[in-house]
């Protein structure tokens, strides 16, 4: 083993590196290409590298799971598993197949968020008015067991061709309301630097694009991919916002923190999207520690996701109450921007719906009764003389001195529409509401 003491790989890292080959160096270990070449894709390799052993019965069940949902773990991520209690290990649970993945429940779907249905062309999901999700890579350095896009993992049919990417860029070019493009996948950082550089260059040629976002788990599972060269390239394409996916404080290792430091030093704003996972992070104390550590590393917690209704995730799901309990334990108790927004991504494609503990206890015409995180109940006296301005969305005539030359949406949609004075609508009625159907029948008579 040629790793020098001074190069400071952890004991686990040294052991795995040595089990890959006696000739592994620390330089190899920190080379993302070496990591990918030695990714663990079967049980035998996992056993050899981690020295964790399974029984024959376990191997049979794990293999059945792998046949449906493939396995891939970087040696780096595997080195974070504490072998002595691996069954309860949060890293093991996120990366190693669990036969429970094969138990499909009736409520589960392969595409619960209707990402494919809300897709005008392959690779683009256009759900919200002003932004799109753009799947530019179907590859990942690690297959997260809780992946919401499990249906696409390892499927060669889903590898986006250059033509598909060009079609996506054209779609964005032709739809002027799109101002925000979210590159996702798979993991966009699995693309070569030059290719990603090309995509970003093409996107920035579109005049209506205001921001580009990258969603990537690479800082967590393959931090060595965040090279100086990559960061230099990304820096040319500002403003880029970068969202990553830490789920447990143990993932914030020295290597991961170094990757975050490089990105933050390049002036790239960092955010984090966690998923609430049973047996991994469904604990207020773990989540508080995670979010505090993120903030310490200049990462702003963005979303905490309720686990989706994707097939194979039932063993990861918690009641919504667990998420609310976690948010309750954060708001007021720690730094305001260490609190993510807890969201449920609506099955059927309704998008992300924020969920919060209730802070408004009651309300009258001039008083709101609120409670704080300590349980103190307080009143807010509302103004006696607030003059409501009648709004017809005619900003040129409005007394408020806002020049909204570029205001895009002239029509208020959804709940916002119910608030506006310029719309006649007083209610939103679901399609096929039986009471409204009866009314229609009566009218037709």
Ligand X SMILES: *Cc1c(COP(=O)(O)O)cnc(C)c1O
Residues that bind ligand X (CB under 6 A): 125, 127-128, 131, 133, 182, 352
CB of 352 to ligand X, least distance (A): 5
Give whichever of 127 and 145 is closer to ligand X, judged by the CB atom.
127
**Catalytic, out of 30, 93, 149, 317:** 149
- Looking only at the bridges linking them, the beta strands covering 367-371 and 131-137 are unpaired
CB of 296 to ligand X, least distance (A): 23
Question: Among this protein's residues, is 131 annotated catalytic?
Answer: yes
**Catalytic, out of 76, 147, 217, 224:** 147
The C-alpha torsion from 102 through 107 and 113 to 116, rounded to 10°, is 70
CB of 346 to ligand X, least distance (A): 10
Question: Among this protein's residues, is 107 annotated catalytic?
Answer: no
Question: Among this protein's residues, is 144 annotated catalytic?
Answer: yes
251: tokens are: 């993932």
Question: Among this protein's residues, is 128 annotated catalytic?
Answer: yes
**Catalytic, out of 86, 128, 195, 373:** 128
**Catalytic, out of 48, 131, 235, 322:** 131
Question: Among this protein's residues, is 352 annotated catalytic?
Answer: yes
Half-sphere CA count of 346, side-chain side, radius 13 A: 11
**Catalytic, out of 352, 371, 373, 391:** 352
Give whichever of 128 and 198 is closer to ligand X, judged by the CB atom.
128
Q: Please check whether residue 319 is in contact with residue 281, taking contact to mean a CB–CB distance below 8 angstroms.
A: no
Give whichever of 182 and 326 is closer to ligand X, judged by the CB atom.
182
CB of 276 to ligand X, least distance (A): 16
200: tokens are: 């970003």
Give whichever of 86 and 128 is closer to ligand X, judged by the CB atom.
128
Give whichever of 48 and 131 is closer to ligand X, judged by the CB atom.
131
CB of 70 to ligand X, least distance (A): 24
Question: Among this protein's residues, is 147 annotated catalytic?
Answer: yes
Give the residue numbers annotated as catalytic, written as ranges: 127-128, 131, 140, 144, 147, 149, 308, 345, 352
């Amino acid at each position: 083993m040629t790793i020098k003491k001074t190069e400071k790989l952890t004991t686990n890292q040294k052991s795995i590196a040595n089990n890959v080959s006696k000739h592994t160096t620390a330089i190899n270990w920190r080379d993302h290409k070496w990591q990918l070449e030695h990714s663990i894709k079967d049980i035998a390799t996992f056993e050899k590298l981690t020295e964790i052993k399974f029984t024959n019965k376990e191997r049979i069940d794990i293999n059945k799971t792998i046949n449906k949902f493939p396995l891939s773990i970087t040696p780096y991520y595997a080195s974070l598993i504490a072998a002595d209690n691996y069954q309860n290990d949060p890293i093991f649970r996120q990366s190693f197949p669990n036969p429970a993945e094969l138990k499909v429940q009736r409520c589960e779907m392969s595409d619960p968020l209707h990402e494919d249905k809300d897709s005008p062309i392959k690779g683009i999901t256009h759900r919200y008015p002003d932004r799109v999700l753009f799947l530019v890579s179907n590859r990942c350095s690690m297959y997260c067991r809780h992946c919401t896009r499990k249906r696409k993992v390892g499927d060669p049919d889903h590898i986006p061709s250059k033509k598909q990417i060009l079609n996506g860029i054209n779609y964005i070019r032709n739809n002027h309301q799109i101002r925000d493009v979210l590159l996702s996948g798979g993991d966009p950082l699995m693309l070569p630097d030059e290719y990603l550089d090309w995509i970003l260059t093409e996107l920035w040629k579109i005049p209506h694009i205001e921001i580009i976002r990258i969603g990537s788990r690479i800082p967590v599972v393959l931090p060595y991919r965040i090279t100086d060269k990559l960061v230099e390239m990304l820096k040319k394409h500002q403003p880029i916002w970068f969202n990553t996916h830490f789920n447990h404080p143990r993932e914030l290792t020295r290597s991961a923190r170094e990757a975050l430091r490089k990105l933050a030093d390049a002036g790239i704003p960092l955010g984090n999207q966690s998923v609430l996972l049973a047996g991994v992070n469904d604990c207020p104390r773990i989540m508080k520690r995670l979010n505090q550590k993120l903030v310490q590393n200049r990462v702003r917690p963005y979303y905490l996701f309720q686990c989706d209704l994707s097939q194979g995730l039932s063993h990861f799901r918690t009641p919504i109450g667990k998420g609310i309990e976690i948010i309750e334990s954060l708001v007021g108790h720690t730094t305001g921007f260490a609190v993510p927004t807890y969201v449920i991504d609506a099955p059927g494609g309704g998008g992300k719906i924020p969920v919060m503990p209730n802070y408004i206890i009651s309300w009258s015409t001039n008083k709101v009764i609120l409670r704080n995180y300590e349980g103190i109940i307080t009143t807010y006296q509302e103004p006696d003389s607030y003059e409501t301005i009648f709004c017809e969305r005619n900003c040129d005539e409005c007394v408020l001195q806002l020049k909204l030359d570029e205001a895009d949406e002239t029509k208020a949609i959804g709940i916002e529409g119910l608030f506006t004075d310029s719309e006649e609508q007083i209610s939103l009625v679901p399609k096929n509401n039986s009471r409204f159907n009866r009314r229609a029948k009566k009218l037709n008579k």
